[in-house]
Structure 1
Amino acid sequence: MADAKNSNPDNFKGWLYKWTNYIKGYQRRWFVLSNGLLSYYRTQAEMAHTCRGTINLAGAYIDTEDTCNFVISSGAQTFHLKASSEVERQRWVTALELAKAKAIRMMEAASDDEDEAAPTEPDKNDIQNTLRMLSSKLEDLTTCNDLIAKHGAALQRSLSELELIQDPAEASTKIKAVNERATLFRITSNAMINACADYLDLAQTQGRKWQRALQYEREQRLRLEETVETLAKQHNTLERACRGNLGPDKGKSKGSATEEFSDDDNEFFDAIEESPSFTTTVQIPTHIKGHRRTDSGASITSIASSEGAGPKYDEDLSSSDDEMSTGRQNQGSVITIKTQGPLPRSGSEVSVNFNEPISMLQRLTEDFEYSDILDKAAQCDDSCEQLVYVAAFTVSSYANTTHRTGKPFNPLLGETYECDRTDDWGWRSLAEQVSHHPPAAALHCESKEWECWQEFTMTSKFRGKYLLIIPQGIAHLRFKKSGNHYTWRKVTTTVHNIIVGKLWVDQSGDMDIFNHKTKDNCHLKYAAYSYFSRDIPRKVTGIVTDAAGTAKYVISGTWDKKMEAAKILHGGERPSSGSKEKQVYQTGPPRLLWHRNYPPPGTDLTYGMTEMACSLNEPEEDVAPSDSRLRPDQRLMEEGLWNEANQVKVQLEEKQRARRRKRESEGKPVETHKAVWFEKKQDPLTKSLIHVFNGQYFEAKKTQDWGKCPDIFTI
């Protein structure tokens, strides 16, 4: 099987196996050979944004080992590679040797030019002068082109007239005119050739110079990325080692220093055992416009956030003091910030300075801000049309992530959150933190027309420059009138600029929404942001199909603004087998399914929250004593008492750890907690165990019988 896509040494690409470490061994990677550089990526899609490593072949050593293996080393880094066959390896080695020879020739030719002696950044004046010269040469080419067209047309007319002349005396005069016009045509043609030669010479000279400058900038960027990623790995390893969750590395990698790093064991909710004395000094940004804490530097270290701003970069970085004072106005339920406390510790012991004043349970409840979409869906008689609205509802839950950079409070085990919006929005919900290992929260929401439930947990992968948050579990939605039962999984959230810059969030991946009663399906694709893409950012597209696989609706829009749907009138012609062209549908006029409610003015002072989000932490009577609104550290933060909030947060987490140590000392299993308001059952659709609402909470609320609630907030 040939993995390489072509045999052109200037642009050779394909799959190879690269040695990573003694635990993972060889891993399949996508390699690209271009302009004397061999780069690799984890997948082909990463070519748009993340290069994992690059070797300049001009100074590289290529060595073949056995039938399929070969090694490329530049001194600074080494790639141990393996092809799928001996023939495939020979193709790669041949292409690499040719590219290396060409790179050496280009380097030697460039070194002969005094102006190109050092690959440094070109001067702005030099660039402007060069552009002016190129523009002048282009004008000369345009003038010559016009003259050639003019004299060529005149010559053609003269030749046509000469063919029609019968009188020899008159022919002599015409021949003289033809010769004159031919001479003019030859002169303008020579001028055109000379102008082309001048332009080509200037373009080649400056092109080589700029290519070296761009190569210099590329190498500088790669070195910076490697340095930042190495520092991030070291920082993460130190934190995990201090928590006792990770020992020394079990092997030395033969691959490059830029091999990816994953943290699949990151527990988002748990209160980790307190680490020994450990201090980290960080230089943090102090002037990040639009950030929820103008002077806190939260954009550097709050890596567990699942929210963010747009794809922008902030280069105005400077150090900040340990404590700063800044005033904020009260808006809705959001607070006046007075002071800031110390930098956060590892694990879940993150200072409230990097939080927003709501818990993860409240954050899950925000999914129902656009519940009116489900109310419209409940009125649909056609199941495919109903599925269109359900799809729009799933997209709407991501709308607020464009401006949310705060990390929600990690719920304590047994913590709950009730949201009763029956009077205004027609639904009520309950969420409970039901497990530590794995950390999980269960949520149930119901109205007269529908009910929705899910068990939310997640895994995360830290890649040095960004964090992948991969939701686990399945969301369920059932309409009471029709009995249509839908399920779906949430897509991956990527938090960018973890180390340096302004945090921003992207959503990407595929989502399938399936109707288990009618077998209708909606496939949604969340396009990952790419700087080089011509598509609009945050784009979502989808197709709704019936049980027979016939396309019924086309869905399109963005997850941060609006979604539309159009009914398919005609399926159009299918593309031929092997063609990359997409199916083209003839549709009716689009219909608006959902549009975003933007946050109120002054969103930078309210953590980017909408009015609904701002109201979630408003105090309410008669709720369970385990309700998030009664959590003291969260309430202190909302009141602006940051130092006190940090102290109480540590005490609450220590209390939770003490309960865990007590269970261990008594010889009991660590995870013996039993949810109060949810019951663990087997999901009849997925056959997996999930927590399902037992219906007892609202009955207990009527009688105010909270005897089952654990005492988690008393210090």
Structure 2
Amino acid sequence: MLRRSENEIKIVLTRPLSLNGELEADYKAPNLIHRILSLFKNVRPGSDLTHFKLPPQFNVPKSHLQCYGETVYCNGSDMLRRCNQANNSLDRFMSVVAWSISTLRPLMFGVAPYNPILGETHHVSRATLNVLLEQISHHPPVSALHATDEEHDIELVWCHQCVPNFNGAWVETEVRGKRQLKLLSRGETYEMNSPNLLIKFLPLAGVDWTGNVTISCKENGLEAELRYGPKSFFGLRGSHRSVKGKVYETATKRTLFQLNGHWDRTVTAKDNNSGKSRVIYNADEVFSGLKTPVVNDLKGVRPTESAAVWSELSEAIMSQNWEKAKEAKNAVEGKQREVLRERELKGTPWVPQHFSVTYTKDGGWECSPIQQWVPPAPIVLPLS
């Protein structure tokens, strides 16, 4: 935790989400299932939950923007850089598939990150990789990400809109929008979507990523289909966090590899020609030795930085001072409503600072970064 000066906002950074749920254990509210069901007692199945507000007892001390960013800059091995290293296009594609799997994080039942305010940003560097996120819409909630590694000719552009719906015994959040991974020196763009987040209350409580993900690259004519499976009705471990799928040629639909495994353990690829299998993803590499970001340049931290916007709330949650946490959360949300009212009175539209936005015919969002390269960040991830 850092202060700019006695009269300015604190900067509070917390350790990343881990595979074993240590963060969730620190902040989980008591009598969890009873408390959660009481929150939804007046919510009807099929309801839009984008306006739903969680009390701070159900928050982990970080924003959704920080969680998105962590999936890119915070891992034990640099799988992103590997995507551009292989000279063979098929090997590069398989590396991208493995990297895509590595971006999943085990969100925990009963706790959730903060909903970012409009204009909130998160800017972190890991070595030569610079990552910048911005909340470009509050209702509906839409987040944009731009990451570049100029030294290794890699660029990421994401645009995410989360649409949660309550179905009585569960909440399923559809993550709309696409992710682009560009290997600039190879002239290849890989497009992919995200799985949905399923939060089940009954009969067995839990959180899982579920649904289908497609990864495609027009330049090398390859595609992958991944199916993420939730825990079964009876909670059998074999189905929990499962990944199944295939890699095939776009033009001929000929399957090259069969994929099978679990994103919290290992995923193997079986060559359809030789019958041989190899491990393409190992969760131990991704989640081992995770570091907490640190402030490297205090003066360079934006007032819109997530770690600054939510610092009072994060500090209160970490000390389990729930009265202070409630006040801090109300203060942030109240200020946002006030700024919105002023903007509406003046007739001033909101314009994102780091992205240009277009709207698709089906009501979706597309984001383009304004800058070619993301500059180095004042917050960095230690490498050792």
**CA displacement at 1:596 relative to structure 2:** 3.2
Q: Report the structure, 1 or 2, having the larger strand content.
A: 2
**CA displacement at 1:296 relative to structure 2:** 2.7
Q: 2:154 aligns with which of 450, 459, 463?
A: 450
2:112 is the counterpart of 1:376? no
CA contact (8 A) 1:529 1:537 kept: yes
Match of 2:213 in 1: 511
Mapped partners of 1:362, 1:444: distance in 2: 13
**CA displacement at 1:693 relative to structure 2:** 1.8
Q: 3-state SS of the aligned residue for 1:400?
A: coil
CA contact (8 A) 2:179 2:192 kept: yes
CA contact (8 A) 1:523 1:542 kept: yes
**Alpha-carbon spacing, 1:598–1:663, altered in 2? closer, same or farther (3 Å):** closer
Q: 3-state SS of the aligned residue for 2:86?
A: coil
Q: 2:308 aligns with which of 630, 634, 651?
A: 630
Match of 2:180 in 1: 476
2:338 is the counterpart of 1:645? no
Match of 2:351 in 1: 674
Q: 3-state SS of the aligned residue for 1:587?
A: coil
Superposition map of 1:484-499 within 5 A: 484-497=188-201
Q: 2:121 aligns with which of 402, 413, 416?
A: 416
**CA displacement at 1:630 relative to structure 2:** 0.9
Alpha-carbon RMSD across the aligned residues, in angstroms, is 3.2
CA contact (8 A) 1:302 1:407 kept: no
CA contact (8 A) 1:358 1:634 kept: no
Match of 1:360 in 2: 64
More deviation, 464-473/691-700 = 691-700
More deviation, 406-415/546-555 = 546-555
**CA displacement at 1:651 relative to structure 2:** 1.7
2:366 is the counterpart of 1:690? yes
CA contact (8 A) 1:362 1:616 kept: no
CA contact (8 A) 2:312 2:328 kept: yes
Mapped partners of 2:98, 2:224: distance in 1: 11
Mapped partners of 1:372, 1:414: distance in 2: 29
Q: 2:278 aligns with which of 578, 584, 590?
A: 590
**Alpha-carbon spacing, 1:520–1:294, altered in 2? closer, same or farther (3 Å):** closer
2:225 is the counterpart of 1:523? yes
Q: 3-state SS of the aligned residue for 2:233?
A: coil
Mapped partners of 1:477, 1:595: distance in 2: 21
CA contact (8 A) 2:199 2:207 kept: yes
**CA displacement at 1:453 relative to structure 2:** 1.2
Superposition map of 1:313-324 within 5 A: none
TM-score for both structures, normalised by structure 2: 0.76
Match of 2:163 in 1: 459
**CA displacement at 1:397 relative to structure 2:** 2.0
Residue 148 of structure 2 aligns with an amino acid whose one-letter code is E
Residues 204-235 of structure 1 deviation map (CA, whole Å, 9 limit, x = unaligned): xxxxxxxxxxxxxxxxxxxxxxxxxxxxxxxx
Residue 332 of structure 2 aligns with an amino acid whose one-letter code is L
Residue 224 of structure 2 aligns with an amino acid whose one-letter code is C
Percentage of pairs with the same residue: 22
**CA displacement at 1:659 relative to structure 2:** 2.3
Mapped partners of 2:153, 2:374: distance in 1: 18
**Alpha-carbon spacing, 1:479–1:697, altered in 2? closer, same or farther (3 Å):** closer
Match of 2:129 in 1: 427
Residues 229-280 of structure 1 deviation map (CA, whole Å, 9 limit, x = unaligned): xxxxxxxxxxxxxxxxxxxxxxxxxxxxxxxxxxxxxxxxxxxxxxxxxxxx
Q: 3-state SS of the aligned residue for 2:277?
A: coil
Segments of structure 1 that go 5 or more residues without pairing to the other structure are: 1-289, 304-345, 570-585, 601-609, 703-715
**Alpha-carbon spacing, 1:530–1:517, altered in 2? closer, same or farther (3 Å):** same
Residues 89-116 of structure 1 deviation map (CA, whole Å, 9 limit, x = unaligned): xxxxxxxxxxxxxxxxxxxxxxxxxxxx
**CA displacement at 1:364 relative to structure 2:** 0.3
Q: 3-state SS of the aligned residue for 1:388?
A: helix
TM-score for both structures, normalised by structure 1: 0.43
Mapped partners of 2:189, 2:340: distance in 1: 39
CA contact (8 A) 2:173 2:198 kept: yes
2:1 is the counterpart of 1:296? no
**CA displacement at 1:469 relative to structure 2:** 0.7
Residue 122 of structure 2 aligns with an amino acid whose one-letter code is Y
Match of 2:264 in 1: 560
Residues 532-560 of structure 1 deviation map (CA, whole Å, 9 limit, x = unaligned): 67954322111111233222222211022
Segments of structure 2 that go 5 or more residues without pairing to the other structure are: 1-23, 38-49, 379-384
**CA displacement at 1:294 relative to structure 2:** 5.9
**Alpha-carbon spacing, 1:366–1:501, altered in 2? closer, same or farther (3 Å):** farther
Q: 3-state SS of the aligned residue for 1:590?
A: strand
Mapped partners of 1:469, 1:687: distance in 2: 17
Mapped partners of 1:595, 1:675: distance in 2: 35
**CA displacement at 1:649 relative to structure 2:** 1.5
**CA displacement at 1:357 relative to structure 2:** 0.8
CA contact (8 A) 2:232 2:239 kept: no
Residues 353-380 of structure 1 deviation map (CA, whole Å, 9 limit, x = unaligned): 1111111100101222346222222112
Residues 50-73 of structure 1 deviation map (CA, whole Å, 9 limit, x = unaligned): xxxxxxxxxxxxxxxxxxxxxxxx
Q: 3-state SS of the aligned residue for 1:611?
A: coil
Q: Report the structure, 1 or 2, having the larger helix content.
A: 1
Which structure would you say has the larger Rg?
Answer: 1
2:73 is the counterpart of 1:396? no
